[in-house]
Structure 1
Amino acid sequence: MNGNLNMDVIRSALLAGEIDDAYKVIFNAKKRIELYKSTTGDSRYDVYYGFISLIDEVVKGRRSWKDLRSYTDENFEKLSAYVDPDFLESFPYYLFFSIDRYNVRFPYYDGKRCDDR
């Protein structure tokens, strides 16, 4: 499992306004972890799964980017095993920027920046 690759793709897709691409990576990462856990019973990826699930909830508009920030702060040591620590510190702000700029609320995303007419 390469958390850094997943996060880089999600971040770049969100910054470019390609919410569908970001959501595909989120969805696939969640499914891979669910499959791994159901076949092995191993819970080593639970913190990372919680992180990915929270990103999913934020992108869908059900949770706030601040919830992601607090989850990251609470689980920083465990998450740094899967995702670069520098990325963990900055990612909630990238998410905030994307939500603010593109009015992200998947699946009701209209593809326009806010205030564009």
Structure 2
Amino acid sequence: MDVNDVIEVFKDSIDQGDLVNAYSVLAKNLEKYKHARKIKQEKLLQHIINVIEGNESMDDFSKFLENEDLSFIPYIESYEQYKQSLMDHIVYAMNRYNIKYPSYDAKRCGDL
């Protein structure tokens, strides 16, 4: 699966609150990229996993994205908007579902 597809499935899953699927998609494709020696893709997915596990802050992830050249991701018109969109999806899910994988609240925070 192309890294753009992986990230889109990840974003859709976390928007729906399905963190188990989001994490499994990242972990499965991370292993595929390691075996295929796709260093840039592997690095990006590892940083995303670190953020949702709570091992890396959003500030660190933001700095990583600022310095990272994402030209290996096809079909992107504006890389700055793509980076911001990815961060927005993660922050939205972290705030809404109180994410720190593997523990998270599947019900929305403060709704009930």
Please give the TM-score of this superposition, normalised by the length of structure 2.
0.86
2:13 is matched with: 13
- Alignment length (residue pairs): 108
2:25: which partner in 1?
25
Counterpart of 1:103 in structure 2 is 98
Q: After TM superposition, where is structure 1 displaced by more than 4 Å over at least 4 residues in a row? A: none
Per-residue Cα deviation, 1:8-67 (whole angstroms, up to 9, x for no partner): 100011111110010011001110011112xxxxxxx22221110010011111111222
Superposition RMSD on alpha carbons, in Å?
A: 1.6
TM-score for both structures, normalised by structure 1: 0.83
Unaligned runs of 5+ in 2: none
Contact residue 66 and residue 92 of structure 1 kept, 8 A: no
Post-superposition offset of 1:89: 2.9
Residue identity matched to 2:62:
R
Map of 2:72 onto structure 1: 81
In 1: Cα distance, 2:60 partner to 2:92 partner: 15
| Aligned residue type for 1:98 | A
The alignment-based identity, stated in percent, is 23
Q: Is the 8 A contact 1:10 1:25 kept in 2?
A: yes
- Find 1:58's aligned residue among 40, 51, 64: 51
Q: Where does structure 1 lack aligned partners over 5 or more consecutive residues?
A: 38-44
